[in-house]
């Protein structure tokens, strides 16, 4: 008889929320379990705001952010200064937001805030042509590394081929030709307007005193200009009217099939349903596609699925790496059979429970780390308007049933989809 296990304690996240006079949102989640602090600065500007002909603008801004700042770290990249003190820091851009994120010992709290405020205050002014060209070259090198990685070209072609012309998510990755035309004035204008205090969310989690965080936030950020958010036009949902096939060749040892469908936006019920479907279809050796394609038919060596989304809409992406020497026709047919079976009968209760547990474990792991907790609550505020949305987030997974996931699969897996077929160079 299986041994009964105690129920896991509920996941909780208690957030103190405050707004400075200049519009900076300050979020604080005290937790003294560890002598550590996590800090995440999130701006409401992302790759969707680059604009026509300017893809790579927000990525280029992110590359300029790990540098020396005039007061806090003159002459030395501030990431190096923080690492020398036991902390770590990184910056990147997403579809809808851009981030500076890091953590370390709790006694680094004021250092984190001082450096971040100094960088925000001087972001536009300290740039010059030589520095910008160095950062542009570094970003272009990253783009080349992505393109030159096995199957990398297919990854960079997914969004441009899935989203319609003019959609803000069409160019998730910078286009080299457009990145090369960005000027110093373009970057300085974006920094001054979009990366101000009024368009930012400062999230702090860990072993901190809320009153001290607010005092330091006012001290270091209170005098900074608000800036202004980018103007965003309404974007209607879209569907693909038919199958869109994009054949590719690459220097790879085996063929790869990548399928993608338009999917629901971030933090919607449909978004959670898609996450669960990805788990059921292709996560782990017990998943449906692994069992069918890898274990039984031996048509593939690897499978995967993910829900990649944003505030507007997302993409459900499914891929299978064929056995070397095999084409994609049989693989595609087998995938379609499994999708049809899921649409017709839905998942089993055991599959739903297993997928739900994996998603909840992922949230629990986020909450264990002060840095990722800061990242999570900043995301809740940016996308849902309030940082105290953990329970709303978790309720989406609790609401899923075999019947609701069958309905979600039927709505998602329609004939209109993107098919990227990557074959080895010279394959017949």
- pLDDT value of position 342: 98
pLDDT score, position 63:
87
Q: Give the mean pLDDT of the chain.
A: 92
Altogether, the residues listed in the chain come to a count of 428
Contact 300, 294 (CB under 8 A): yes
Q: How does residue 70 score in pLDDT terms, banded at 50, 70 and 90?
A: low
User: Which residues of the chain are in CATH 3.30.830.10 domains?
Assistant: 16-221, 244-424
User: Can you identify the CATH homologous superfamily of domain 16-221?
Assistant: Metalloenzyme, LuxS/M16 peptidase-like (3.30.830.10)
pLDDT at 64: 83
Assess whether pLDDT exceeds 60 at residue 294. Answer: yes
* Whether pLDDT at 6 is above 60: no
- At 128, the pLDDT band (50, 70, 90 cuts) reads confident
Q: Are 171 and 47 in contact (CB under 8 A)?
A: yes
Among 331, 302, 326, 343, which residue's Cα sits nearest to residue 419? 331
Is residue 186's pLDDT more than 90? yes
Residue 5 has pLDDT above 70, yes or no: no
The fold adopted by the segment(s) 244-424 is Cytochrome Bc1 Complex; Chain A, domain 1 (3.30.830)
Radius of gyration of the CA atoms of the chain, in A: 23
- Whether the pLDDT of residue 348 is over 60: the answer is yes
* pLDDT score for 161: 95
* Res. 4: pLDDT tops 60: no
Give start and end residues of each alpha helix (H) in 309-388.
Answer: 329-345, 349-368, 370-384
Write the CA distances from 15 to 26, 40, 389, integer angstroms: 10, 14, 9
pTM for the whole structure: 0.93
């Amino acid at each position: 008889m299986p041994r009964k296990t105690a129920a896991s304690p509920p996941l909780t996240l208690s957030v103190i929320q405050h707004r400075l006079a200049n519009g900076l949102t300050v979020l604080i989640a005290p937790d003294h379990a560890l002598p550590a602090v996590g800090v995440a600065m999130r701006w409401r500007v992302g790759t969707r705001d680059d604009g026509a002909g300017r893809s790579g603008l927000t990525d280029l801004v992110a590359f300029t952010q790990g540098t020396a700042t005039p007061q806090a770290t003159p002459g030395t990249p501030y990431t190096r200064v923080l690492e020398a003190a036991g902390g770590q820091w990184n910056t990147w851009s997403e579809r809808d937001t851009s981030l500076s994120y890091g953590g370390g010992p709790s006694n680094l709290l004021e250092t984190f805030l001082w450096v971040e405020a100094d960088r925000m205050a001087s972001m536009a002014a300290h740039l010059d042509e030589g520095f910008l060209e160095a950062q542009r070259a570094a970003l272009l090198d990253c783009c080349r590394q992505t393109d030159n990685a096995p199957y990398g070209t297919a990854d960079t072609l997914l969004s441009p081929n899935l989203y319609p012309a003019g959609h803000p998510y069409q160019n998730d990755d910078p286009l080299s030709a457009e990145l090369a035309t960005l000027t110093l004035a373009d970057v300085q204008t974006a920094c001054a307007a979009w990366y101000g205090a009024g368009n930012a969310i400062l999230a702090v989690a860990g072993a901190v005193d809320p009153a001290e965080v607010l005092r330091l936030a006012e001290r270091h950020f209170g005098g900074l200009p608000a800036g202004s958010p980018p103007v965003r036009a309404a974007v209607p949902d879209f569907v693909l009217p038919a199958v869109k096939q994009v054949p590719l060749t690459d220097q790879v040892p085996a063929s790869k099939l990548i399928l993608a469908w338009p999917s629901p936006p971030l933090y919607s019920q449909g978004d959670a349903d898609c996450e669960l479907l990805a788990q059921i279809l292709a996560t782990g050796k017990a998943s449906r596609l692994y069992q069918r394609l890898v274990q039984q038919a031996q048509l593939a060596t690897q499978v995967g699925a993910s829900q990649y989304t944003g505030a507007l809409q997302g993409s459900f992406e499914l891929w299978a790496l064929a056995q070397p020497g095999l084409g994609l026709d049989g693989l595609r047919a087998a995938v379609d059979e499994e999708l049809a079976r899921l649409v017709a009968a839905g998942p089993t209760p055991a599959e739903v429970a297993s997928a739900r547990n994996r998603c909840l474990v992922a949230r629990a792991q986020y909450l264990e780390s002060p840095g990722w907790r800061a990242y999570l609550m900043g995301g809740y505020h940016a996308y849902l308007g309030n940082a105290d949305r953990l329970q709303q987030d978790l309720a989406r997974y609790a609401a899923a049933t075999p019947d609701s996931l069958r309905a979600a699969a039927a709505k998602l897996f329609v004939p209109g989809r993107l098919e990227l077929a990557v074959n080895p160079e010279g394959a017949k």
